[in-house]
Amino acid sequence: MDKQEFIKKIAGCVQKYAPAYGILVHSPIIAQAILESGWGESRLAAVYHNYFGLKCGTKWTGKSVNLSTMEEYTPGTLTQIKDNFRVYDNMEEGVKGYFEFIQLSRYQNLRGITDPETYLRTIKADGYATSSKYVDNTMRIVTQYDLQQYDVKGAGSMAKLASAVLAQARAWIGRNEADGTHKGIIDVYNGHKPLARGYKVKYTDAWCATFVSAVAIKCGLTGIIPTECGCGQMIALFKNLGEWQESDSRTPSPGDIIFYDWDDTGAGDCTGWPDHVGIVESVSGGKITVIEGNKNNAVGRRTLDVNGRYIRGYGVPKYDKEATGSGSQV
pTM: 0.57
Averaged pLDDT for residues 40-68: 89
Q: Which residue intervals of the chain bear CATH 3.90.1720?
A: 162-315
SS3 call for 159: coil
CA angle 167, 21, 192 (to 5 degrees): 80
Q: What is the largest CA-CA distance in the chain?
A: 70
Beta strands 287-295 and 298-305, pairing class? antiparallel
- The rounded distance, in Å, linking the Cα atoms of 35 and 51 is 9
**176 phi/psi in degrees, rounded to 5:** -150, 170
Q: Boundaries of CATH 1.10.530.10 in the chain?
A: 3-55+88-157
**Which CATH architecture best describes the domain 3-55+88-157?**
Orthogonal Bundle (1.10)
Burial class (CB in 10 A: 0-12, 13-18, 19+), 251: exposed
CA distance 211 to 214: 5
Phi/psi of residue 237, each to 5°? -70, -40
* CB neighbours of residue 191 within 10 Å: 10
DSSP at 55: B
Q: What is the mean pLDDT of residues 45-54?
A: 93
CA distances 297 to 181, 183, 245, 275, 290, Å, are 11, 12, 28, 15, 15
Q: Which residue in 29, 329, 292, 326 sits closest to 162, CA to CA? A: 326
- Residue 12 contacts by C-beta under 8 Å, 6 or more apart in sequence? none
What pLDDT, in 10s, does the model give residues 245-261?
A: 999 999 999 999 999 99
Query: What pLDDT score was predicted for residue 77?
Result: 65
More confident residue, 4 or 325: 4
CATH of 162-315, one of 2.60.40, 3.30.200, 3.90.1720, 3.30.70: 3.90.1720
pLDDT at position 155: 43
- Residues 78-99 pLDDT 10s: 667 678 899 999 999 999 999 9
